[in-house]
Structure 1
């Protein structure tokens, strides 16, 4: 039975992976710690490793994995910017991901963030808990009359478009590779036009050299004053310092972040008894028109089931000498 070291695990990861591994065909050993140079001793004697979004799989880690005989890295996520793919390919270590896991889960979370920010649900909830039923400061706008720009029309972007179509929004899209499915739901426009016309902008694109810090001082200057920005995709799409400056200047009226550029030191951990040393993030949290969730968008039963099953299928294919199509090279 092949042995797999599973890093960055929580109780829910174990539950769904064990279900997918029934009857047992792998020895899955779970580690709450992240894979990084400091934890490499844990991989001794394993045939493969499974990683998540904040595991650090750089050249030094890959070389150590190869020395231990690890032949596959089974990512439990769609993103792979935390893996040095060039080195992995050179060393002959296979990297496979989970490209699709209930795109509706992330899309619905994005829409939930839009509604929560717009209708100030968090502020209203806290008021009512204190028996304060005053409506001052709680006014929102009709989403049905808003123009929403969707950047990235892959599976998650399309699911978001479908959800928003039901609200009656005017929908704009931008993607380097327009699709017929996207055209059926919204209007493809140049990025600058999307910035100029949108009341709400939701990010659903991968992190690449071109999209790095897509939301920055220059792009914010092209947007409507008071624009709502939602990011449920990759943290580094948004320049956090520029977003903070945009909040101070009133360029951004609402900001919803399920991801954050430096989330590796924060998310998926309980830090409630510690001092936060990220000043930009701390200041963002202090704004009443900022909503942050800790990389929660994917977190549904359906998505976790799909992630576990696809991860095991990727392992099955690798050890059988086959491919699933989820391999990155």
Structure 2
């Protein structure tokens, strides 16, 4: 049986390589490896491959056309989100687009960790401890189980967050278009306005699309409780960064914990310590004492890296055999 060729971009030796080598043998796949992200300069490496695997490289109309012209039939992104891929261009060039799935525990538990850190002023505690300032003023936290937590988006990750939170005893509100009976055991479904007005902590677990772009904005922030805590482990574009900054500076927002920010492409996962930070919103947010910013790390566990590699490679084989592909996001 001949091997299917898959061209892997942004191949990482320090974490993914072990899984790529093991799984490619098990799945009988030949890997064409590129350690850099896909660009017009290195695109010729895809010749002879019908399938490619990327991480978060933006795929615009130009790249989509060039991939099509070289015989590529499918782009698989090793991420749950796929907003970095131009789906209109995919339709134009009949390109199939697939994403990855992985254990929900990593992101869910990271989100809960951020909720607890933000509610206990952990950033300021750690900063003071580093300079041997062991004073108490300004560090008093909030009793976590007494806080009402609003979950926006109750997909696989959101449901896991709710399940894991249920042991803390918090009142939990949920906003999602689709209701699931299992969620109702631990939480109450409400409309969006009720959630944002009644929650002490709001945690985002929704995908980014045209409908919910900037769903946290000047107007929705104004309807929230004073000193609300915002947690985002989903996508940066769900929050209007300018409105967020204004609400932090006015004191409306008590704390924020952000694993994702707007316009993070090209920043995260790179060593930029000797370069100016070009994302002004990120530069500002990092400096507030009540804002925790982490570099899109919520997913990053051993299990999740394995699962992303597996789903990306298995997706290619399913497409090649014409079988039903649960990871395909376009065309559905």
Query: CA separation in 2, counterparts of 1:121 and 1:261?
Result: 24
Matches for 1:54-73 after TM superposition, within 5 Å: 54-73=56-75
Query: CA separation in 1, counterparts of 2:88 and 2:284?
Result: 37
Alpha-carbon offset, residue 188 of structure 1: 0.9
Q: Relative to 1, partners in 2 of residues 1:186 and 1:24: Cα closer, same or farther, differing over 3 Å?
A: closer
Query: CA separation in 2, counterparts of 1:147 and 1:38?
Result: 51
Name the stretch that deviates more: 293-302 or 133-142. 133-142
Query: Is the Cα contact below 8 Å between 2:78 and 2:312 reproduced in 1?
Result: yes
Partner of 2:198: 197
Partner of 1:239: 240
1:27 aligns with 2:30: yes
Q: Secondary structure at the match of 1:82?
A: coil
Query: CA separation in 2, counterparts of 1:12 and 1:157?
Result: 26
36, 50, 60: which one pairs with 2:53? 50
Partner of 1:15: 18
Partner of 2:265: 264
Partner of 1:304: 305
Query: Is the Cα contact below 8 Å between 1:314 and 1:323 reproduced in 2?
Result: no
Alpha-carbon offset, residue 87 of structure 1: 2.8
Query: CA separation in 1, counterparts of 2:192 and 2:26?
Result: 49
Query: CA separation in 2, counterparts of 1:60 and 1:277?
Result: 24
Q: Relative to 1, partners in 2 of residues 1:261 and 1:48: Cα closer, same or farther, differing over 3 Å?
A: same
Query: CA separation in 2, counterparts of 1:249 and 1:128?
Result: 27
Alpha-carbon offset, residue 116 of structure 1: 1.5
Alpha-carbon offset, residue 144 of structure 1: 0.5
Q: In the TM superposition, what whole-angstrom CA distance separates every residue of 1:231-262 from its partner, at most 9, and x where no partner exists?
A: 10111001111101111111111111111111
Name the stretch that deviates more: 297-306 or 5-14. 5-14
Alpha-carbon offset, residue 39 of structure 1: 4.3
Partner of 1:275: 276
Q: Which has the higher contact order (CA 8 A, sep 6+)?
A: 2
- Unpaired segments ≥5 residues, structure 1: none
Alpha-carbon offset, residue 115 of structure 1: 1.3
Query: Is the Cα contact below 8 Å between 1:14 and 1:30 reproduced in 2?
Result: no
TM-score (norm 2): 0.93
83, 86, 90: which one pairs with 2:85? 83
CA RMSD of aligned residues (A): 1.7
Alpha-carbon offset, residue 197 of structure 1: 0.6
Query: Is the Cα contact below 8 Å between 2:213 and 2:239 reproduced in 1?
Result: yes
Alpha-carbon offset, residue 23 of structure 1: 4.0
Query: CA separation in 1, counterparts of 2:294 and 2:39?
Result: 25
Alpha-carbon offset, residue 31 of structure 1: 2.7
Query: CA separation in 2, counterparts of 1:222 and 1:83?
Result: 33
Q: Relative to 1, partners in 2 of residues 1:142 and 1:85: Cα closer, same or farther, differing over 3 Å?
A: same
Query: CA separation in 2, counterparts of 1:213 and 1:38?
Result: 34
Query: CA separation in 1, counterparts of 2:36 and 2:58?
Result: 11
Q: Relative to 1, partners in 2 of residues 1:323 and 1:89: Cα closer, same or farther, differing over 3 Å?
A: farther
Name the stretch that deviates more: 11-20 or 251-260. 11-20
Query: Is the Cα contact below 8 Å between 1:117 and 1:291 reproduced in 2?
Result: yes
TM-score (norm 1): 0.94
